[in-house]
Amino acid sequence: MKTQAFQLTTLSQSSLQDYMDCAQRFKLRYLDRLSYPAVETEPTLENEKHQQEGEYFHRLVQQHLIGIPAEQIARFANTPNLQRWWENFQNSADLTGLKDLTGLYPEATLSAPLGRYRLLAKYDLIALRDGKAVIYDWKTYRKRPRNEWLAARMQTRIYRALLVNAGAHLNDGRPFEPEQIEMIYWFADFPEEPARFPYTAAQFTRDWDLLVKLSEEVASASTYPLTDDRQKCAFCTYRSYCERGVRAGDIDQAEAEMEADELFNVDFEQIGEIAF
Ligand code: SF4
C-alpha cells in the first residue's frame, strides 16, 4: 500500500517510545498516519470499557484539582472501577493535602525545541510542594508494573527532562534544578504503592543527550525496520499490515509485559467535557 508521508513537527513520549520499540510502528503511526487496522488486545470490549473509564477518571481528578468538591465528583464515579479508584484517590496517604497546595498545574502542557522538532508533553499534574516540583501521573493499570520497566520508559525520562528545560515559568522564571524534580506514578488500583523517580543533574544530561540523538536519528531516517522482537507485534495494531499475525494478544499477558501502555495513555483532547 502506498501512503503519503506527513511532515512531522513535534515529538512526544508516545512517538519516541514507538520509535524505540519499532521504527516501522513509528513510521506507520506518525509518518503514514495509518489508522488502526486491528485491535491491540483481547477481549476487546472489556478493554475498551476499561480504557474509557481510565480516561474518565483522569477527567474527574482534573476537575477536583481545579476546585470541584469531592462530594460532587463522587456522583460521577458511577461504575465499580470509578468508585474504587475515586475512593483510593481520596484515601491515599501519598496524595493527602494535594488539592490544597497553591502551586498546582493539572493537565499542564510543556514544550521545548529539540533539533528540528518541538518536544511536547502533557502532564496529568505538576505540583509545587516543599521547594520541589512533583510530576504526578495517574495510571489505571490492572497490574502494578516493575519500577525498572517504568524507569526505562520514555515518559519517565522525557517528563522530567522537559520540566527542567521548559518549566521556568512555573518557578519565577528560573529553571528547576534536576534535583528539585520528582516523578510519581500513582496507580489507582495500588494506591499505596506509587513509583517514585527523583532526578539528578547526571540523569538529566544523559536523558537530554539521548533525546537530541533520537531526534537527529528520526530526522535523518530513511529506513524503518520491523522490530526483531516479535513479542511486541502481538499487541500492535499494525500486525496484519506487517504480516506478523492476525489474532490480538491477551490483555493479561500484555499488562504482564506492559506492552499495552499506549492503550491507557490519555489524550485529553479526545475526552469530552463532563457537565458538573
Ligand atoms: S506489527 Fe510488529 S513490526 Fe509491525 S509495526 Fe507493529 S511492532 Fe512493528
Dihedral of alpha carbons 221, 222, 227, 233, sign: positive
Is 236 a pocket residue for ligand 1 (Cβ < 6 Å)? Answer: yes
Contact indicator for 193, 144 with CB cutoff of 8 Å: yes
Is 238 a pocket residue for ligand 1 (Cβ < 6 Å)? Answer: yes
User: pLDDT tens digits for 8-21?
Assistant: 999 999 999 999 99
The residue to which cell 477481549 is assigned:
43
- The residue-averaged pLDDT of 125-149 equals 94
Is 29 a pocket residue for ligand 1 (Cβ < 6 Å)? Answer: no
Joined together, the cell numbers standing for residue 6 give: 506527513
Interior/surface letters 126-158, b for 16+ CB within 10 angstroms, e for the rest: bbbeeeebbbbbbbbbbebbeeeebeebbbbbb
Is 133 a pocket residue for ligand 1 (Cβ < 6 Å)? Answer: no
pLDDT tops 70 at residue 121: yes
Neighbours of 178 (CB within 10 A): 19
Mean pLDDT estimate for the chain: 87
CA of 240 to the centre of ligand 1 (A): 9
Joined together, the cell numbers standing for residue 183 give: 516523578
pTM metric for this prediction:
0.87
- The residue-averaged pLDDT of 101-116 equals 95
CA of 212 to the centre of ligand 1 (A): 25
- Between 241 and 61, name the one with better pLDDT: 61
CA of 149 to the centre of ligand 1 (A): 20
The proportion of the chain whose per-residue pLDDT surpasses 90, expressed as a percent, equals 68
Pocket test residue of 28, 230, 242 for ligand 1, highest count of atoms within 8 A of CB = 242
CA of 34 to the centre of ligand 1 (A): 13
Is 188 a pocket residue for ligand 1 (Cβ < 6 Å)? Answer: no
CA of 23 to the centre of ligand 1 (A): 8
* Per-residue pLDDT, 45: 72
Pocket test residue of 24, 40, 257, 263 for ligand 1, highest count of atoms within 8 A of CB = 24
Which atom of ligand 1 is closest in space to residue 23's alpha carbon? 8
Rounded to an integer, what distance in angstroms lies between the CA atom of residue 179 and that of residue 198? Answer: 7
Pairing of strands 125-129, 190-198: unpaired
Q: Which protein residue has the closest C-alpha to ligand 1 atom 2?
A: 233
User: pLDDT tens digits for 210-235?
Assistant: 999 999 999 999 999 999 999 888 88
Lowest mean pLDDT: which of 31-40, 44-53, 54-63, 139-148? Answer: 31-40
Which atom of ligand 1 is closest in space to residue 239's alpha carbon? 1
Is 242 a pocket residue for ligand 1 (Cβ < 6 Å)? Answer: yes
Joined together, the cell numbers standing for residue 159 give: 517528563
User: pLDDT tens digits for 23-40?
Assistant: 999 999 999 998 766 555
CA of 33 to the centre of ligand 1 (A): 14
Q: Which protein residue has the closest C-alpha to ligand 1 atom 7?
A: 233
Lowest mean pLDDT: which of 67-71, 109-113, 250-254? Answer: 250-254
